[in-house]
Chains A and B, each alone.
Chain A
Amino acid sequence: AQTVTQSQPEMSVQEAETVTLSCTYDTSESNYYLFWYKQPPSRQMILVIRQEAYKQQNATENRFSVNFQKAAKSFSLKISDSQLGDTAMYFCAFMKHVAAGANSKLTFGKGITLSVRP
């Protein structure tokens, strides 16, 4: 079974600064996918970024980027130029690769609450 660990329950950052959220995972799989989801106070779950384990290049989406260290099983999220709208809970999630036609499930970490200070 896979596990996802987010050891920091809360973080705070000043607006316009950069913050990094940590995530580690444990798996015996060699091919898998990693995700970061954002949950603002509205409760909606929003996909932030996705990384394929077979890709060495770190994924980026505008102000969001990841540092994927496969050997260390680490998948951190960096938010640059933090904005007030980034205040949310952030979840790291793991999905193992399955054969075509089989079902993939997401395993989530416990989440981290990020507060952006004005």
Chain B
Amino acid sequence: NAGVTQTPKFQVLKTGQSMTLQCAQDMNHNSMYWYRQDPGMGLRLIYYSASEGTTDKGEVPNGYNVSRLNKREFSLRLESAAPSQTSVYFCASSEGQVSSPLHFGNGTRLTVT
């Protein structure tokens, strides 16, 4: 019953440091997504992957890179963290078919000082 697993749950970075957020799903879903959640802003799409081997930019991609390592895993990398990237990050997956709902991980709270 794992669903979508994100690691780590919490992270504190200094400005300029880099890190990778990991995401894995065990539901054999085709599509995977990275969102960020900020107070008063809802969830905004950073990047998504429609299927293994493809990635596309979402609404707020600047400062991030992604890798769809295989069908299960979709990682998000911050090359040089900035305070504006302080947020809660959610990974999600879906079957990728029309109207398929998204299944979310439990989020990563990232603070950049």
A residues sitting closer than 8 Å to B (CB atoms) are 4, 6, 9, 33, 35, 42-45, 47, 50, 52, 91, 95, 97-98, 100, 102-111
Also in contact, A52 and B48, with CB within 8 A (given A110-B41, A110-B42): no
Give which listed residue, A52, A97, A103, contacts B96 with CB less than 8 A: A103
Q: Closest residue to B92 on the A side, CB-wise?
A: A45
Also in contact, A106 and B41, with CB within 8 A (given A43-B107, A100-B97): no
A102 engages B50 (CB within 8 Å)? yes
B residues sitting closer than 8 Å to A (CB atoms) are 31, 33, 35, 40-45, 48, 50-51, 56, 58, 88, 90, 92, 94, 96-104, 106-107
Cα A104 to Cα B99 in complex, Å, equals: 7
Give B101 Cβ to nearest chain A Cβ, in Å: 5
B42 engages A104 (CB within 8 Å)? no
B106 engages A110 (CB within 8 Å)? no
B48 engages A105 (CB within 8 Å)? yes
Q: Which residues of B contact A97 (CB under 8 A)?
A: 98-99
Q: Which residues of A contact B90 (CB under 8 A)?
A: 45
A52 engages B88 (CB within 8 Å)? no
A105 engages B43 (CB within 8 Å)? no
